[in-house]
């Protein structure tokens, strides 16, 4: 629930003037102000905060899977202590429900059931995000040992597709994911014809494992705070002026 605070003498005077107009002028102003703040979170600050804190594979994810719900003061019997508006992460029409739940878990650092655990806490570059967004090429060690022919073929395909390369152990339960930065044969020197392979580690793999989040990412709370700081006072003044103007017209 959002809480409405009047933080200056100017706004306090506005509030008192509304209360003198009629009993519902102030609730209407509060209602419209809170709805405007929630809309700002959805349209502006949520996008800004999530781009800073997440490795976003699909740029439209948070836009498609967030929503704000405006309310009318009448629903709360015009009690300004109860009036609210809501904004949050929700399942979009084409969204993966599992993905939206995982995003919600990150606000409280709840362990996420997921096989892939990215390395490090910092947001990845666009090049890495593009790689991770694609289906990986998988090589699994056989019981008889390493098969170089199959391995090189999988690495070459990953490089060509700009896709991740997943190396699994013989049981398929653990492994590592990397980006193939280089796959070429040496053309000169003593090692002419030898393959030169460079794979950048990106994530660990554990079948049916959990990602143990190191820290909380309260991105939604932070986006709401930023919207309130940026626009709440201005929106309240604007809504007060509307109510005063309407009252003047009725006289």
* 75 and 123 within one domain: no
Range of the domain at 189: 115-208
Q: Residue 220: pLDDT above 70?
A: yes
What are the tens digits of pLDDT across the range 49-79? 888 777 666 667 777 778 888 889 899 898 8
pLDDT at residue number 37: 92
* 103 and 19 within one domain: yes
* 102 and 145 within one domain: no
| Lowest pLDDT segment from 37-46, 72-81, 114-123 | 114-123
What are the tens digits of pLDDT across the range 152-199? 999 999 999 999 999 998 888 889 999 999 998 877 777 677 888 999
* 176 and 91 within one domain: no
Q: Work out the number of other CB atoms within 10 angstroms of the CB of residue 240.
A: 24
* 97 and 37 within one domain: yes
Q: Residue 1: pLDDT above 50?
A: no
Could you tell me which residue, 59 or 137, shows the higher pLDDT? 137
* 217 and 97 within one domain: yes
* 166 and 54 within one domain: no
- Residue 51 included in any domain: yes
Mean pLDDT, residues 203-221 taken together: 76
Looking at every residue in the chain, the average pLDDT score rounds to: 80
- Residue 140 included in any domain: yes
Per-residue b or e along 78-115, where b marks 16 or more CB atoms closer than 10 Å to that residue's CB: bebeebbbebbbeebeeeeeebbeebebbbeeeebeeb
- Residue 204 included in any domain: yes
- Residue 144 included in any domain: yes
pLDDT at residue number 100: 64
pLDDT at residue number 165: 95
* 59 and 182 within one domain: no
Residues 57, 133 contacting (CB under 8 angstroms)? yes
- Residue 68 included in any domain: yes
* 27 and 93 within one domain: yes
- Residue 217 included in any domain: yes
Mean pLDDT, residues 203-219 taken together: 75
CA separation, residue 188 to residues 152, 180, 199 (Å):
20, 22, 22
Q: What is the pTM of this model?
A: 0.57
- Residue 3 included in any domain: no
* 173 and 103 within one domain: no
* 79 and 27 within one domain: yes
* 87 and 20 within one domain: yes
- Residue 4 included in any domain: no
State the Cα–Cα distance between residues 233 and 155, nearest whole angstrom: 57
Query: What total of structural domains would you count in the chain?
Result: 2
């Amino acid at each position: 629930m959002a809480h409405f605070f009047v933080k200056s003498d100017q706004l306090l005077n506005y509030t008192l003037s509304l209360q003198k107009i009629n009993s519902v002028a102030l609730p209407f102003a509060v209602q419209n102000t809170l709805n405007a703040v929630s809309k700002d979170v959805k349209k502006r600050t949520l996008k800004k905060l999530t781009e800073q804190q997440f490795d976003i594979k699909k740029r439209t994810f948070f836009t498609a899977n967030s929503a704000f719900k405006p309310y009318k003061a009448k629903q709360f019997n015009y009690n300004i202590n109860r009036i609210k508006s809501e904004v949050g992460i929700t399942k979009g029409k084409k969204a993966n429900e599992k993905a939206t739940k995982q995003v919600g878990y990150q606000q409280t650092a709840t362990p996420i059931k997921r096989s892939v655990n990215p390395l490090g806490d910092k947001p990845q570059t666009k090049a890495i995000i593009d790689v991770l967004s694609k289906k990986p090429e998988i090589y699994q060690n056989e019981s008889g040992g390493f098969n170089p022919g199959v391995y090189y073929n999988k690495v070459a395909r990953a490089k060509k597709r700009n896709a991740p390369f997943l190396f699994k152990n013989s049981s398929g339960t653990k492994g590592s994911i990397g980006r193939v930065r280089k796959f070429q044969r040496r053309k000169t020197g003593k090692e002419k014809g030898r393959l030169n392979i460079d794979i950048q580690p990106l994530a660990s793999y554990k079948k049916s494992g959990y990602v143990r989040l190191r820290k909380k990412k309260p991105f939604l709370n932070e986006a709401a705070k930023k919207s309130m700081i940026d626009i709440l006072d201005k929106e309240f003044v604007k809504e007060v002026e509307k109510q005063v103007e309407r009252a003047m017209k009725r006289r």
